Structure 1
């Protein structure tokens, strides 16, 4: 019934952690060793999430939204400047004598800034790029000063046209590796990296078996991150087989996976959503128990600001109150720490001073792997791991 893995430590290739070891997560898709009655293979899709830097967002942008260009413009004032003045004269002919050959050339203007009757200046797009100029003059938003030599075309992350290929990047043109200090917005060649206050998740999912996807070997190894959460899916009978149903589920800095099943989940989550005042269950990416479980857990983490360990305890207890035979091995990560629960299914941890791995099954024979007993809450990071009983009274529940 699914397999998952979380990693926190030095930057590594995202694809490498999926294929690491003789009993890698990919191998576990067709040859798992400890399913505990949860099926025989995990071939109904897979997914992997990693973390990328999130620059400080302007007040009018949400967390994790990257602003491309220099300083943040005041969009309201800019709109007011472009708006025609109420008493301004309408279009009409201008006496050619009013134009003096010695007068300075009219300033290059963007949309709505050309004065009526002025000599037609070249059309200007965002960032001062004149229509008809060679592509080498393409610049970013508002960064090209009048009269300066044309700068080379610059794409997301500061990649100049025709330059060497840049490293793999995540959403918004940010390099995944910590060396992303060279990545800048469009039109800015070089310069300091914006201050970062957090990381946000990016992810890749596929509803096909992991062994059929060439991206695992050809694309994902080019992406590097300090943290990864990955999952294989073995779908419960009757639930949809689709990419949206594949973990990890993500939002902001969080990534989540559920290994297990929840009998009667529709009624269970309807009751829990009302109890926890959760976001609408219609926000679930897919009509599955895991996707709806994530909506409720995310509501506790983000809207109620409940600590991760406490939120997991509340969710597990709430589900078991209404579905006492539920299987609830949960995995949660924020890019720095991993939290996990064991409720019926297997889990092991490998923690050193440099990194921490939490996995349904060990991917190799390293003697430092430590199996986790049932009904436990695990909190792990490089050089640290705590394991505490969940201590949830399930009455007649038997997992």
Structure 2
């Protein structure tokens, strides 16, 4: 469910990255080519972008489909940025959160998106939620799995973890609590992109020294797009992309020897 994209590179109009490509995020809202779960991403969308000289991104989010928002089409034509994160949300059950449930989520300089779903939500993450300060739980932007996963990531960032460590520790922890979850996470601070491939598709397009795009699926047929293997952490800048295997805690638990009772 959902599709998302992050970009670092020369300043471009938002529309050139999200609307104009033949298979861009705009078209992926109704005709994704590689989406494994869900078919229509019409339950909200959002884009966050960075302006020169300001480390705190701006956001534009709505509860409806991206194709129905004429204001976004106008905004995307003229607003330019060298760093952005955008997402379209899969059609889901109705709720009261409206655009607050649409990515990107934000805090300070960070933008975050979750492509996937937590199995057994909300009960499966009850224990993990209790590791967060009450203030963090009460200030969640939305009452969905993505917002709680973001809170878990953000708690690690605020504690001093680097982006890769924050995602690399959160994903296996959530997967162990809720086996079968799909946890493709995307995080940027306007200078770097960090992402995980865990249960759904993730691709990247790199032109070292110029631009890097990380997305759920390619927005065109450029042969330089490369797929990220499942269970992988991606760390990227404008100059390079690093892929690191992610540890699966559920496999460790399954292979751990059982304890013999004391006699």
Could you tell me which residue of structure 1 aligns to residue 46 of structure 2?
Answer: 47
What SS does structure 2 have at the residue aligned with 1:275? coil
Alignment equivalent of 2:198, drawn from 343, 346, 368: 343
**Partner in structure 2 of residue 385 of structure 1:** 241
1:16 aligns with 16
Helix, strand or coil for the counterpart of 2:55? strand
Q: 1:329 matched to which residue of 2? A: 184
Structure-2 residue corresponding to 1:365:
221
> Residues of 2 paired with 1:314 and 1:277: CA distance?
18
Report deviation, 1:294: 1.1
- Would the alpha carbon gap of residues 294 and 360 (structure 1) be closer, same or farther in structure 2, given more than 3 Å must change? same
Larger relative strand fraction: 2
In 1: Cα distance, 2:77 partner to 2:106 partner: 21
Any conservation in 1 of the 2:172–2:247 contact (CA below 8 Å)? no
How does the TM-score come out when normalised to structure 2?
Answer: 0.90
Matched, 1:221 2:77: yes
CA distance in 2, matches of 1:212, 1:236: 18
Larger Rg: 1
* TM-score with structure 1 setting the length: 0.60
What SS class does the counterpart of residue 293 from structure 1 fall into? helix
1:52-71 correspondence runs (5 A): 52=51
**In the alignment, which residue of structure 1 is the partner of 2:258?**
none
1:230 is aligned to: 86
Indicate the SS of the match to 2:249. Answer: coil
Conservation of the 8 A alpha-carbon contact between 1:351 and 1:380: no
Which whole-Å CA distance do the structure 2 matches of 1:326 and 1:271 have between them? 16
Structure 1 residue 220: deviation in Å?
2.6
Shift of residue 246 of structure 1? 0.3
The answer to whether the 8 Å contact 1:239/1:288 transfers is no
Once the two structures are superposed, residues 297-343 of structure 1 have per-residue CA deviations (whole angstroms, 9 ceiling, x without a partner) of 111112x1111111101111111121011110000000011011011
Q: Does 1:309 align with 2:170?
A: no
Which of the pair has the greater relative contact order for Cα pairs under 8 Å at 6+ separation? 1
Equivalent residue for 1:270, pick from 118, 126, 140: 126
Contact 2:204 2:212 in 1 (8 A): yes
> For residues 317 and 208 of structure 1, what CA distance do their matches in structure 2 show?
32
Q: Distance in 1 between matches of 2:10 and 2:225?
A: 19
Q: Does 1:210 align with 2:209?
A: no
What is the rounded CA distance, in whole Å, between the counterparts of 1:380 and 1:278 in structure 2?
33
Q: Unpaired segments of 5 or more residues in structure 2?
A: 255-263
Are the aligned partners of 1:240 and 1:288 in contact in 2 as well (CA < 8 Å)? no
Q: Is the 8 A contact 1:380 1:386 kept in 2?
A: yes
Question: CA-to-partner distance for each residue in 1:118-166, whole Å, 9 max, x for gaps?
Answer: xxxxxxxxxxxxxxxxxxxxxxxxxxxxxxxxxxxxxxxxxxxxxxxxx
Asked if the contact 2:43–2:92 (Cα under 8 Å) also holds between the matched residues in 1, the reply is: no
Contact 1:7–1:358 (CA<8 Å) still a contact in 2?
yes
- Alpha-carbon offset, residue 30 of structure 1: 0.5
CA distance in 2 between counterparts of 1:8 and 1:21 reads: 16
1:284 aligns with 2:140: yes
1:200 and 2:56 correspond: yes
Provide the rounded CA distance (Å) in 1 between the counterparts of 2:32 and 2:188.
23
